[in-house]
């Protein structure tokens, strides 16, 4: 039997915890892991490339990639299911095949797909958790990569094998790799959620530490001003 939790109820619980303990006393449940760069990566090319990452709640994953140099846009959405079920309330049932995902458009001359994978596995989520991430449980929170071409697949699969062989994580990586069949942007209120709601208890506890880990572990790739969906549209 699958178990699912309401993000709203978790937010209420986290809010009570933060208020009772006071600022600065609550830390993220998941720590970043220092991992080597991929031995196999794409060669730098001109133009813009697109990649899709799923690693739990898209608020934090989007927030991390929005702070990476070379990323031109990071949009929260749904991948893995059909267009007709790509709505938050439906996806939250865990029965659609969708995963909460982030579509990243980036300049491969500034940041490679391999570097984005290193950041994804190191600070954006825990790739050893099967069908859950932190407090969120269900297949919609699975760890997954949706690749756009054979080259991305080669880099992704090689890197997962490399990290597993090096035993950089205490458990095997469960991240799935599949072809992109469609990406559907999430509702407007989900976009830029981390940047627009830095005091939201769920963000404070689960996601802001990811930004600090990015800044600490990848200083050359970190930028202080995120690239926002709203700003890009405006």
Structure tokens at 87: 């709505």
- pTM for the structure as a whole: 0.88
Query: What positions carry a catalytic annotation?
Result: 57
C-alpha 25/C-alpha 87 separation (Å) is 35
pLDDT score of 203 more than 90 = yes
**For range 116-135, the mean pLDDT:** 97
C-alpha 81/C-alpha 123 separation (Å) is 26
C-alpha 51/C-alpha 161 separation (Å) is 19
Confidence of residue 31 (pLDDT cuts 50, 70, 90): confident
pLDDT in tens, 157-192: 999 999 999 999 999 999 999 999 999 999 999 999
Confidence of residue 7 (pLDDT cuts 50, 70, 90): low
Q: Around Cβ 104, how many Cβ atoms within 10 Å?
A: 26
Q: Which domains does the chain have, with CATH numbers?
A: 46-233 (3.30.1060.10)
Confidence of residue 231 (pLDDT cuts 50, 70, 90): confident
């Amino acid at each position: 039997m699958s178990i699912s939790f309401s993000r709203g109820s978790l937010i209420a619980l986290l809010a009570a915890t933060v208020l009772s303990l006071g600022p600065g006393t609550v830390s993220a449940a998941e720590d970043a892991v220092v991992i080597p760069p991929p031995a196999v990566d794409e060669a730098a090319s001109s133009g813009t490339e697109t990649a899709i990452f799923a690693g739990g709640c898209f608020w934090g994953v989007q927030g991390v990639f929005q702070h990476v140099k070379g990323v031109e846009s990071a949009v929260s959405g749904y991948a893995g299911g059909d267009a007709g079920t790509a709505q938050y309330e439906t996806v939250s049932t865990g029965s659609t095949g969708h995963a909460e995902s982030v579509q990243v458009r980036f300049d491969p001359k500034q940041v490679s797909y391999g570097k984005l994978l290193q950041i994804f596995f190191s600070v954006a989520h825990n790739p050893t958790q099967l069908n859950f991430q932190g407090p969120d449980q269900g297949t919609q929170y699975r760890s997954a990569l949706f690749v756009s071409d054979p080259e991305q697949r080669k880099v992704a699969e090689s890197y997962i094998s490399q990290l597993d062989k090096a035993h950089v994580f205490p458990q095997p990586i469960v991240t799935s790799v599949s072809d992109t069949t469609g990406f559907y942007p999430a509702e407007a209120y989900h976009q830029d959620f981390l940047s627009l709601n830095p005091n939201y208890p769920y963000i404070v506890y689960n996601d802001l530490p990811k930004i600090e880990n990015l800044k600490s572990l990848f200083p050359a790739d970190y930028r202080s001003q995120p690239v926002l969906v709203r700003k890009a549209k405006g």
